Homo-oligomer: A and B are copies of this chain.
Amino acid sequence: MNAASKPTRVQRLSQASRQRRESEKQELRHAILQAASDLFVERGYEGFSLRQVAERIGYSPTTIYLYFADKDSLIFALLDDAFDQFGTALRQATDPITDPLAKLEALGRAYVRFGLTHPLHYQVMFVMRGDFLQQARAAETEPRIASFRVLRDTVAYAIASGSLRPGDVDAISLLLWAIMHGIVSLAISMPLIVTPERVAEVEQDALMLIWRGLT
């Protein structure tokens, strides 16, 4: 076969077929992830099992192993997606804003909103499987790293612009992270105590605290 020649009809067919199967494969993979995600939402991390995922998509449990090496691989793929959405949410919230402090506020609000909107995912991302986030290497371009980088960049931007008083970017980032995570985490674990209204309050208070304390 000449590499330069146009593909024959058979070749075109074959490639089409390959592409179709490839896309079908991606579809099923996606369906598995979706089902797994739903299951997390409904049953939480503890109630999550491969068998139930399989049942949900109407395939045999074995089939899952064609798409993911094992349970952890599936969970990690799920978390990759989740961090992707998380990072996107953060970026979408902060990108349009230029004022450094407003940017920071938007980041915080987006962070909390994500946590409250996807509490069980958040729980898995930051609590149940902290090891996943922990495994990330700084150099990587992975979603889990990217999410954190948005925070870091926003802080750095605020400091650089003089809106935030000078300080160690990493340390300040970590402090802000802890505050946001604390709020979300309490709200998720004790929704009756830390109701959405109280979250709104404490969010506001936290912002004031930060403005007063860090500017």
Contact = CB atoms under 8 A, between A and B. Distances in A.
Interface of A: 46, 126-127, 130-131, 133-134, 171-172, 174-175, 177-183, 185-186, 188-194, 198, 201-202, 205-206, 208-214
A209 B205 contact: no
Nearest to A165: B212
A131 B191 CA distance: 9
A148 to B, nearest CB: 9
Given A174-B198, A178-B183, A208-B213, A190 B46 contact: no
A126 B189 contact: yes
B130 A205 contact: no
Given A134-B192, A171-B201, A209-B214, 18 more contacts: A126-B185, A126-B189, A127-B185, A130-B186, A133-B193, A175-B202, A175-B205, A177-B182, A177-B186, A178-B179, A178-B186, A179-B182, A182-B182, A209-B209, A212-B212, A212-B213, A213-B213, A213-B214
6 contacts: A126-B186, A130-B188, A134-B192, A175-B209, A178-B186, A178-B202
Given A202-B174, A210-B213, A193 B134 contact: yes
B185 A181 contact: yes
B212 A130 contact: no
Contacts of A46: 46
A133 B186 CA distance: 11
A174 B190 contact: no
